[in-house]
Amino acid sequence: MENIQLTPAYRKSLADLLGPYREMRGSAERKYHADRRALRDSILREVMEEKGGVRTLAQIEKLRNEVEKAEAELANLGFVVDDSGDLDLSHGAPKSLRGLVDKRIDKELGSESHIHKTFDLAIVKIWTAKNISDVEQIMSSLI
């Protein structure tokens, strides 16, 4: 056996023999990771119980259920609260609700198109200004 030359072709043949074992290796690795996760979860729960965290965990689970119910109620109204506590319209909010919010914003702030019109008009006025004082007046009206 020691006289066998390990040529690239021979090495490839040997490696190809291990090919079917790749699936077995992958399967063994997946089983290991699944078993590791399960054992870790079991140990975490055991240690948590030893530390007296059962009541706290139960409270968290209860509060999460309450939060889920409240979020569902809010979603039925067309709203959503993100993890930061910011309120927004939900993706399924009715168009009428979106329109109501947008209309109130436009009423209080004006629309973005108003800004475009204002600046576009100022540019036209600058092009047609007769002197620098007119330009200064146009510019100061934007500030």
How far apart are the C-alpha atoms of 109 and 111, rounded to whole Å? 7
- Tell me: the pLDDT tens digits for 81-134? 999 999 999 999 999 999 999 999 999 998 889 889 999 999 999 899 898 998
* Backbone dihedral region for residue 61 (phi beyond 0: left; psi -120 to 50: alpha; all else: beta): alpha
How far apart are the C-alpha atoms of 44 and 57, rounded to whole Å? 12
Q: State the virtual CA torsion across 18, 20, 24, 27 in degrees, nearest 10.
A: 120
Cut 0.85: pTM above it: no
Q: What is the identity of the amino acid at 114?
A: H
**Which residue reads 């030893």 in tokens?**
50
- Position 2 confidence tier, pLDDT thresholds 50, 70, 90: low
